[in-house]
Structure 1
């Protein structure tokens, strides 16, 4: 989820009929519910003098605030050659080391781009722009293995790895777009193979946006299964003001868990604690009540998180495995904006972080940590 306008899913519109399934792979029930936070923006925030505080104003390292609040997973995205030098191998390794030192698990999210990869954009890294399919497969493998190998060497091996981000429309456009499913599958297989070779104990996640869109999820996972792609967990983005009802999310997660025999996660979600903004830059979500019954307030933010977590926990057979808050630490720090190419860009997300306009933890952080 990133530079959101309206989400469109060409893949769903053009999807081929669902392919026949064989026997679903087995997967053991999950015993530890993931109470996760994506903190991909943290390293840059800290470099730009961002601070984080408890509700009483006591300053502390954001990772330790999260950990002491009960968060047990962090998620970090990886870009190939980002213009601002963040969300790259060096910063991912450094933040992962800190998280592991705090006893937290780590999920690494490979975008396979120099910038945001989501349903509206899956741009090849500049260095890969003219690569053939074979060259792209090699580049995916090498990039994945390089980052993960550095993490292993640093004593910060991840427990889960996401191969691609919000793959509704494929990846590495146009070569691996939704209408090039054979190429897409080969790219995913290359990334998965790199994970399995470099961090054999890590679980592999495949991730789509639109968590309530069951036809999209069936189309994608059926197509990838038929083409030999393997995975261990399924991740869904679910933003309640974009992705439909909680009941639709429940139906889809239940179906995914049953159909493929895998644990499912809401690996991205968020909700505003305030309809306003702090940096004078309009926010992506600014309605006073983005979803009926859940105002943009501290209480509304906490209650929406609880409602989403209850959906995940209700997935049968213990396969509802966790919830991750997207960009929990992305506060309105000057210089830490949306566009890695523009140092003057600002943040349209700060009203959905888990730290408020005074840099203090919102009540929803405690909610997340006690799910």
Structure 2
């Protein structure tokens, strides 16, 4: 999920947009969103009892928490008591934290040193680590897969070697429980050499080298391939059938990926059965309000951008939506192994007038006063 291109818009833009009903905000995560799917919020009730020996991953992405905490931001539980955000999320039922990793970022955030320090904190809290390796110096998503500066100009054989050695190093250093090779790699990774459309064979070769590096270094880690959305997922995972991986991860945001939860469940079932892989929702989120707490334009700010009829933009609507996502990914799909909520920590941490603050504060798991939201009561780790 990318949001940097939204950080410089002023509050008046939001107000004008609301009056014009201009549902034209575009995510730099996915410039070519999936076709709108029919609205059908009712998901058939045919739950599957969780497999007792299965390992589930219920968690959230907290990649920005070190930066947010360094700015002096504090969090509270539902009673208004000061809490450590990581400890609170664990106490509410989460067992996994997802962290993004950039190769050589412009500042220290999401670099190996910061991620290693945070991973050690998570291990101390007895939480699992889900590592999202972007293979870039910045955000990677369906519309942007920029090769790291240090690898630009390399021949393809040298690029494969660099990918392998880097993957081995980060896997050995961080010892993740899940290692996600690439982020939302619908279009491939490491463009132009790993472009799925222009260089499909090279795209596969890069993935194969990366998976080999993981198997050689941390064979117990689960390897995930991550695709954004539902449309096109079947073709993608057919194409990567020769890659040695363990888990299918899908992003699912109603704004970009359709408003039919029954279709989401059907897709997860079909993919898991066809490829005999565990399936997870790697990214999802839902607003608890359409209001804002800073002057940074929110990615979801209009009702028509996101709202499922049965799930209004309210604390209860957010909680109900996540309850359904949790049910689908842990009870209703035989190989469903959980989900990750994206942006739990993204409150308006730079102040109410910041134009470079959070484009996500209305979808965080904490309200505008940084209190834990009722959605956390819905979290339940399968026994």
TM-score, normalisation: structure 2: 0.83
- In the alignment, is the contact (CA less than 8 A) between 2:34 and 2:256 conserved in 1? no
1:359 maps to 2:374:
no
CA distance in 2, matches of 1:79, 1:167: 15
Partner of 2:71: 48
Q: Which among 222, 235, 239 is matched to residue 203 of structure 1?
A: 222
CA shift digits 1:293-312 (9 cap, x unpaired): 21111001101111222222
- SS of the aligned residue for 2:320 comes to helix
Q: 1:10 to 1:307 in 2, by over 3 A?
A: closer
Deviations 1:255-275 (A, max 9, x none): 111001111000110001111
Task: Tell me the residue number matched to 1:93.
Answer: 116
Contact 1:29 1:263 in 2 (8 A): no
State the alpha-carbon separation in 1 of the partners of residues 268 and 191 from structure 2. Answer: 28
Q: Which runs of 5+ in 2 are unaligned?
A: 4-26, 36-50
1:283 matched to 2:298? The reply is: yes
Q: What is the Cα deviation at residue 356 of structure 1?
A: 1.2
| CA pair 354-347 structure 1, distance change in 2 beyond 3 A | same
* 2:122 is equivalent to residue 104 of structure 1: no
Give the aligned CA root-mean-square deviation in angstroms. 2.2
Question: Kindly tell me: are residues 182 and 29 of structure 1, through their superposed partners in 2, closer, same or farther at Cα, counting changes over 3 Å?
Answer: farther
Q: 1:251 aligns with which of 266, 280, 287?
A: 266
In 1, Cα distance between equivalents of 2:349 and 2:60: 19
In the alignment, structure 1 residue 346 sits paired with structure 2 residue 363 = no
Distance 1:105 1:264 in 2: 17
Q: Deviations over 1:285-326 (max 9, x none)?
A: 01246222211110011011112222223444x301101101
| 2:178 equivalent in structure 1 | 160
Q: Distance in 2 between matches of 1:166 and 1:176?
A: 13
Name the CA distance, whole Å, in 1 between partners of 2:192 and 2:71: 36
TM superposition shift of 1:10: 9.7
1:85-116 deviation per Cα after TM superposition (whole angstroms, max 9, x unaligned):
11111111111111111111111010001111
2:13 alignment partner in structure 1 = none
Asked if 1:233 is matched to 2:244, the reply is: no
- Is 1:174 aligned to 2:189, yes or no? no
> 2:318 maps to what in 1?
301
Q: Is the counterpart of residue 331 in structure 1 residue 342 in structure 2?
A: no
TM-score under structure 1 normalisation? 0.86
For residue 187 of structure 1, give the secondary structure of its aligned residue in structure 2. helix
> Which secondary structure does the structure 2 equivalent of 1:273 belong to?
coil
Aligned to 1:130: 153
Q: Which sections of structure 1, spanning at least 5 residues, go unmatched?
A: 13-27, 152-156, 336-342
Mapped to 2, the partners of 1:62 and 1:135 lie a distance apart of 42
State how far apart, in whole Å, the 1-side matches of 2:265 and 2:34 are. 22
Cα deviations across residues 118-144 of structure 1 (Å, max 9, x unaligned)?
A: 011111111112122112111211222
- Aligned residue number for residue 190 of structure 1: 209
Q: In the alignment, what sits opposite 1:16?
A: none
1:267 matched residue in structure 2: 282
Distance in 2, matches of 1:6 and 1:80, equals 19
Distance in 1, Cα, partners of 2:65 & 2:190: 26
* CA drift at 1:9: 5.1
